[in-house]
């Protein structure tokens, strides 16, 4: 109740609970998205979904044709540590996957993510 809908990189660290920090650290916060995969709304690998208010990212992805892909839990940008605070670069990495994605790439990204690559979206250090 009263929780602001904001991208992680615009969320102050004070709003993340100790439990939430552990969930994020071990990527357990992604488990509910397995239901979206079962329903066919997401895949394991693909561009991370963004908020409707992230206009710059939406425009960059649309321009590069990224919306032809189903959203995913992990992707090239996440493994490389590029978060949604850099929309153009994120969209370019998403487009790279669009052009070169394969089962082998998916397996590599899933394993790399499971082993801890990428730290998730950064959280503001203030407040």
Cβ proximity of 72 and 47 under 8 Å = yes
Which pLDDT score is estimated for 24?
A: 73
**pLDDT tens digit string along 39-87?**
999 999 999 999 898 999 999 999 999 999 999 999 999 899 898 889 9
Which pLDDT score is estimated for 127?
A: 46
pLDDT-derived band at 25 (thresholds 50, 70, 90) equals confident
What is the maximum span of the chain, computed from C-alpha positions, in angstroms? 43
Q: For residues 122 and 113, what is the distance between their CA atoms, to the nearest angstrom?
A: 16
Global confidence as pTM: 0.75
Q: Is 81 helix (H, G, I), strand (E, B) or coil?
A: coil
Residue 35 pLDDT greater than 80, yes or no: yes
């Amino acid at each position: 109740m009263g929780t602001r809908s904001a991208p992680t990189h615009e969320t102050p660290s004070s709003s993340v609970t100790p439990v939430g920090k552990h969930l994020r650290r071990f990527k357990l916060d992604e488990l509910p998205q397995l239901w979206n995969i079962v329903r066919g709304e997401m895949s394991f690998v693909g561009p991370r979904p963004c908020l409707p208010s992230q206009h710059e990212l939406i425009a960059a992805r649309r321009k590069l044709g990224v919306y032809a892909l189903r959203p995913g839990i992990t992707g090239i940008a996440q493994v490389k540590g590029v978060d949604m605070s850099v929309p153009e670069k994120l969209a370019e990495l998403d487009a790279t996957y669009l052009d070169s994605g394969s089962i082998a790439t998916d397996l590599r990204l899933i394993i790399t993510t499971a082993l801890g690559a990428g730290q998730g979206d950064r959280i503001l250090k203030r407040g």
